[in-house]
Amino acid sequence: MAHSFQDDVDQVSKGAKDPLRDETLVKAVTYDFRRPDRIAKDQLRAIHLLHDNFARNLASSLSAYLRAYVIVNLVSVEQLSFAEFSQCLPSPTCMVCLGMKPFDGSAVMELNPSLIFPLLEMLLGGNGRGLTRINREVTEIEQQILDTLFRIMLHDLKEAWQGVTNINFTIEGRETEPQLLQILAPTEAVVSIGIEVRIGETTGMMNIGVPSIIIKMLRHRFDQQWSVRKTDSTEEEQTRVLDIIKKANVDMEVRLLGPLLSVDSLLKLDVGDVLSFDHAVGKPLALLANGKTKYQGQVVAQGRKRAFLVETLET
């Protein structure tokens, strides 16, 4: 009896596989608990637009302050663990820990050395050109000089976030080694914002890390911001916008279209030659507004000048 039972067990283990178990194994996906998905894609897109506005405003502010043409471009917005964010930063570098009152927690703003030292030279009266690559820590005196620059950046960052919530970004600490920065746990998720700053021939990166938990707390604020934008197109709002653009100038032109002419034939034209445009006298002409056809009509005389008589409106 025991031998027969063991034979049955062996037969089952060597026999047909469980189809439900196989299907489960096929569909199984490895999950990395160090990278939790805390933020929805639509919220990441909203953060992208927010910091795109920040980049444009910062370009204007830095250009005025440094008296140089500054280009600032948003490069990336992605969610990483704090350990991955730290590993992507150069060493040594220039970092500041940012308070985010009234919220608990801290953010990080980092400027690459390839950008910091040319900026320091410009702040001290130089032009920031022709510097050899410097790879050292920023001194305490240099950090004090950079404080004004950081205040300009944090002011524009606060203005960019104003549409979502009022956050007061303040400098709470400084660090030069990314591995020594311990404001968050290594597995904590952060939203990493990469921004490229270009001043003449100098190009460097600015990286901002914001705790994902704070952004997740503000999800309803982002939703409210987008819902307001979607419902703003009321009749009153349309009238207001129309009143603003009524004073704008529009280029108007009438074109008499004709056949194509080769450059060789054009060069052979002489006084007295006649060009046939194959356009009937009574055929309507198109009136273009900023290059787009808006009206049909005829060219008429008004005193000693030519005018256009509108006959039909293009729909």
Q: Rounded distance, CA 65 to CA 199, Å?
A: 12
Start-end of H helices in 162-231: 212-217, 219-230
The fold adopted by the segment(s) 251-313 is Surface presentation of antigens (SPOA) (2.30.330)
54: confidence class by pLDDT, cuts 50, 70, 90: very high
- Topology match between the domains 41-230 and 251-313: no
pLDDT digits (tens, 9 = 90+) for 191-244: 999 999 998 888 899 999 999 888 888 877 776 655 545 455 678 878 888 888
Q: Rounded distance, CA 20 to CA 160, Å?
A: 52
What pLDDT shows up at residue 39?
74
pLDDT digits (tens, 9 = 90+) for 241-294: 888 888 888 888 887 777 788 888 888 888 988 887 777 777 888 888 888 888
Residue 3: is its pLDDT beyond 60?
no
The helix/strand/coil state of 34 is: coil
CATH code for the structural domain at 41-230: 3.40.1550.10
What pLDDT shows up at residue 24?
47
pLDDT digits (tens, 9 = 90+) for 144-186: 889 889 999 999 999 999 888 899 999 998 888 988 888 888 8
Output Rg (C-alpha) for the chain, integer angstroms.
33
pLDDT digits (tens, 9 = 90+) for 110-151: 999 888 888 888 888 877 665 667 778 888 888 888 988 999
Can you name the residues that pair with 297 across neighbouring β-strands?
Answer: 285, 310
Per-domain residue ranges of the chain: 41-230, 251-313
CA-based end-to-end distance of the chain: 92
